[in-house]
Structures are given as C-alpha cells and as structure tokens.
C-alpha cells in the first residue's frame, strides 16, 4: 500500500503507523558505482533513521541497492511472544483512524490480519488513486519536536496527536498542522492538496516542477509563520 520499488523503500526507510522497513530488514546488497562490485551491508551500517538512510543522502552518488533480505516475525502462542504481540496491537490502536476502522468490521482481540485490512481500507479512503492524479506522495516529514514545544502547540491546536519519539521528543502529524491552516483541498493552478489528506500534493498532470516547488514552499512558510515549526521534506529534490 506504499507505492514504490524495494530499493527505494529501503533507501527511504518507508513506514506507516509506527512501523518502518528497518524493523524487518536483515541485510542490503548494493552495487558500488565506483568499483562496480556488490557489497553487503547490515542495516546498522547504513544510517537508518526516520525516512532516511545513507543510501538516500550521504551515499546517494555511490551505491545502488540491488537486493534486500527481510525477516518477518512469527508470533507463536507463548508468554513472551504474546506480550510482544499485544504490545504491537496496542501500539497500532493509538492511531485514531485505524481504531475507528477496526471497530467497523472486527472485534477485539484484533488479529494481525484485522490490522492489515484496516490499514488497507484506511489508505484506500485517504490517499489519492495514482490512476486519477499525478502525485509526489507525502511531501513532508512529520516534525519531531520537544515536549515543551508540543505543549505550546497544543494550546493552539487542542487534541493535536503526538507519538513518542526519543527522550523529551515527540512526533506530530504534519498533515494536522496543514489541515488546521486550511490546506486540504486547496489548489493553485495545476497543483493542489488532496482533499482527504493534507500531506499529499497532487497535480492535474500539467504541473511543472517549478509550480510544485513554489507550492511546497508556500505550505512550509505558512506552517513556520503560524506555528513556528519547520516542515522538513521527505522527498529529495534534484535540481537541474
């Protein structure tokens, strides 16, 4: 449900609902463009972080991912695995949309299959169909801010969701900030924001790169001015 190739998925450390590719990754094989030899890396060596890796930035000109090995977890009946399983399910349930979706077709205790179906249903409802629109996907990273900053923001946006990150830091949804500022469904010429997801920039397929970039800058400036939060880009911009 996240469009893209395996190589890009790894390079970008794609993720959703608190899960990231790195959680299931065992090794990565990449072609070194200088030596033309393949090298195998462990995830620890590749600078995995939120929506980023060395492959996406530091090593961008050096390596091309050609293979990746994943290991999925099997949750057998048993005390320790059950505990982990329930922790995982509880974690997923902190996402309001998912929680509401689950209630419509499943009963607790939810299975992994229930969660998967709920994620698919949610994404089909919220994200633009690639058949209908040109889209650059989710443009902005969810900002990671201090708890103090969060308390300040929550006064302006009551009920602003937050997800624990590192000590004294939380992740907040960029989409919610943009939504509050009225960006959802707003269009300027050939570029717009999807009317069901404020993070998704869509086009009528006529937009130039410059139009899209200007639109992105306007969104960033608006959030900075109103909330003093700098929206970082999830995408790499390649200038000509």
Ligand X SMILES: Cc1cc2nc3c(=O)[nH]c(=O)nc-3n(C[C@H](O)[C@H](O)[C@H](O)COP(=O)(O)OP(=O)(O)OC[C@H]3O[C@@H](n4cnc5c(N)ncnc54)[C@H](O)[C@@H]3O)c2cc1C
Give the footprint of ligand X on this chain (CB under 6 A).
2-5, 7-9, 11-12, 14-16, 51, 55-56, 64-65, 127-128, 135, 137-138, 236
Select 13 or 162, whichever has its Cβ closest to ligand X: 13
By C-beta, is 21 or 223 nearer to ligand X? 21
CB nearer to ligand X: pick between 2 and 22 = 2
Supply the minimum distance, in Å, between the C-beta of residue 181 and ligand X. Answer: 21
In angstroms, the CA 129 to CA 151 distance is: 36
- Report the nearest approach of ligand X to the CB of residue 44 (Å): 18
With respect to ligand X, which residue has the nearer C-beta, 144 or 149? 144
Alpha-carbon gap, residue 231 to 139, rounded angstroms = 9
Closest approach, Cβ 51 to ligand X, in A, equals 6
Q: Minimum distance from CB of 191 to ligand X (Å)? A: 15
């Amino acid at each position: 449900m996240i469009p893209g190739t395996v190589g890009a998925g790894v390079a970008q450390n794609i993720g959703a609902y608190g899960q990231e590719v790195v959680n299931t990754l065992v090794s990565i094989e990449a072609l070194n463009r200088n030596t033309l030899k393949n090298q195998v890396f462990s995830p620890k060596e590749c600078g995995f972080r939120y929506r980023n890796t060395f492959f996406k930035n530091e090593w961008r000109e050096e390596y091309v991912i050609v293979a990746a090995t994943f290991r999925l977890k099997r949750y057998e009946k048993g005390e320790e695995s059950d505990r982990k399983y329930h922790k995982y399910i509880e974690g997923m349930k902190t996402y309001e949309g998912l929680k509401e979706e689950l209630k419509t077709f499943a009963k607790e205790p939810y299975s992994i299959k229930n969660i998967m179906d709920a994620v698919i249903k949610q994404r089909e409802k919220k994200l633009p169909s690639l058949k209908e629109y040109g889209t650059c996907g989710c443009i902005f990273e969810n900002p990671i801010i201090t708890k103090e900053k969060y308390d300040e923001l929550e006064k302006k946006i009551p009920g602003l969701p937050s997800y624990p990150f590192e000590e004294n830091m939380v992740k907040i949804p960029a989409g919610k900030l943009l939504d509050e500022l009225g960006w959802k469904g707003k269009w300027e010429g050939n570029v717009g924001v999807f009317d069901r997801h404020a993070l998704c920039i869509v086009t009528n397929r006529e937009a130039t790169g410059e139009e899209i970039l200007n639109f992105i800058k306007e969104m960033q400036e608006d959030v900075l001015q109103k909330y003093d939060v700098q929206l970082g880009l999830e995408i790499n911009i390649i200038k000509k």
